[in-house]
Amino acid sequence: MRLAISEGDVLCIDWDERSLRLVVAGASRGGVKVRGAVCVPLTAPIDDAAALGEFLRRTMSEHRIRARRAFVSVPRQDALLNLLSLPAGTRDELAAMVHIQIAKDLPFAKDQTVIDFAVSPQIDNPTNLDVWVAAVRNSVIDFYRQVITSAGLRLERVSLRPYANLAALNAGVQQNGRTLLVDIGPSMTEIDLLREGRLAYSRSAAVSIPEGGELAQGAPAMDSLLVEINRTIAAYRSTDAGARIDRIILAGTASLDDSVVHAFHERFGAPTAILDVPAALKWRPGDESAAPYNAAIGLALTITAENLNYFNLLAPKEPEGERRERIRQVPYKAAGIIALLAAGAVAAYVPIYKAGARIAEVQRDIDKLNQDKAEREELSTFVGQVDGWKDKSALWIDHLSRISKVFPSTKKGYVAKTEFAESGEIKLTLIAKDEFLAGEIVKAVVGIEEKGKPLYSAKPIGAPSKSTDPAYPVLDHVNIQVLSMLPAAKTR
C-alpha cells in the first residue's frame, strides 16, 4: 500500500510478539483523518530495541511512510494504574496531590518511575474528580525511546494502552451503561471495563493464543480467556455490587469471527461485537478490520485531545510551581554552601592545626568506645522493628475468624498459604478443584459487613496455574484488603 504522507502527520505504532501495526493520521477540519494502516508479521525480537527499531524503519521504507512524529502506548502489564478521587483544582494542584498520594502505593523507588495522570470527564460531581494515575519504570520508557530513535523517528507521546483503547471505543459514540472491551493478543489480553464511557476497571491477563490467532470454541485458549473475563467481572463487582455488563466489544490481533462472538455472548449473556471503525474517524485503509489497530487508532484520536484527559509519560504532568522553585533555588543554595564551606575552612584551620595532638587523642578514645558499635546498632534496629510491629500489627486472628466463616466447602479446595502485610493485605494461596473457587471466595468476602458497612475488598491475583495435588489440580491466589487499614483519603 502506498501512503501519501505529509510531514505534519503522526505515526501511531503498536506491536506484540507476532505483528507490527502502524496507523498514519493527521488532524483535519472535521477531526482526525487516518491516511493509511499497515499490519505486518514481526520478525524482530521484541526485547531488542535496536533490532526492533531497524525492523520498523524497514517497514516504513517498504510502505513509503514519511511521517516522523511517533506516538506509542505502554501495555497494561507494564504500568501500575490507580484510580484516585481528588478535589477539583488547577493542574498544579492536581499534580501535587497525585504525587503525594501515589508515592504511598509505589512498589519501587519514586526516582526510578515516571508518573502521569489523566482526568476522567465528570458527569454529576463538579467538586470531585476521578483521576487515573499511571506509574511506569524509567527502563520501560527508555526502551521505547531507543526503539523509536533506532527507526529514525521523533518520539512525541508515550500513552497508556487502556486509555488508547478507551479513545478508540468512545470516538463519536455515547457508551451508556457498562461496556467490556477485550483486547486479545498472542500472550497477553487487556480487559477494560467502561462505565458511562469512562474507564472504571482495567487489568491484563496472561492467555496464550496459538500461532495463527484462531480461537475455537471449547479449545484451551478460549476456555482460559473466558475464565479471565469472568475473574475480571467478579473483581470489578467487589466495588460495584451486582453490576451488569451491557455489551462486550472484542479487539486485538487474534482471529475474531462469528464463533468467537457467539462464545462470549453465550457465556456472559451480553450483546457482543467486534470493534468497528469509530464513527468520528475518517478511515481510508479499505475494507480492513479495525480490530487489530484498536490501540493505534486510539493514539491517533488523541492528536487533538485536551492534555489533562490523556497520558503522556514522555512529558508527565508535574507540580510546575515546585519544580520551577527547585530549579531557581539551585544556584543560590550551591553558592551559599560553597561560601559557608570556605569561611568554615579558614576559621577552623588555625585552632585545628594547634590542637592536632589533642584531636588525635580524642579520636583514639572514640575508636576504643566504638569497638562494639555494630552490635549496638543491630540491637537498636531490632528494638525499633519490634516496636514498629507492635504499633502496626492488625488483629489477624479476628479477621481470619470472620473470613473463614464465609469460605466455601473444603470439598472445593483448601488454603495452602496465608501471608499478611502491614498495609492490611491478606494473600491466600489456594489449592482448588477448579478455577472458580477464587471468584466464589471474592464474592463471599466482599459480602462481610459490620453495622451495614463492608469490612473487606477482595480480588483474584494473576492467572490460575497447575498445583502438585492431583485431587485439587488448580493453584490460585486471592488478595483480601482490610478496609479499615487503608490510608485515609486525602481531602482538600
pLDDT in tens, 417-441: 888 887 888 888 988 888 888 888 8
Region 138-154: what's the mean pLDDT?
96
- pLDDT for residue 172 is more than 80: no
Q: Which domains does the chain have, with CATH numbers?
A: 174-277 (3.30.420.40), 396-485 (3.30.1360.100)
Question: Residue 420: which residues within 8 A CB-CB, separation 6 or more?
Answer: 394, 396, 426, 427
Q: What is the pLDDT of residues 266-322, one digit of tens each?
A: 999 999 999 887 766 766 655 568 889 999 999 998 887 777 888 999 999 988 654
User: What are the Cα distances from residue 10, in Å, to 24, 66, 157?
Assistant: 6, 10, 10
Give the residue-averaged pLDDT of 194-222: 86
Biggest CA–CA distance in the chain, Å, is: 93
Give the pLDDT confidence of 364-419 residue by residue, as tens digits.
Answer: 777 777 776 676 676 666 556 545 544 444 467 778 878 888 888 777 888 888 88
Residue-wise DSSP of 300-356: HHTTT--GGGS--TTS----HHHHHHHHHHHHHHHHHHHHHHHHHHHHHHHHHHHTH
User: pTM of whole model > 0.85?
Assistant: no
Label residues 170-192 b or e (16+ Cβ within 10 Å = b). bbeeebeebbbbbbbbbebbbbb
pLDDT in the model for residue 4: 41
Extract the C-alpha cell encoding 203. 487489568
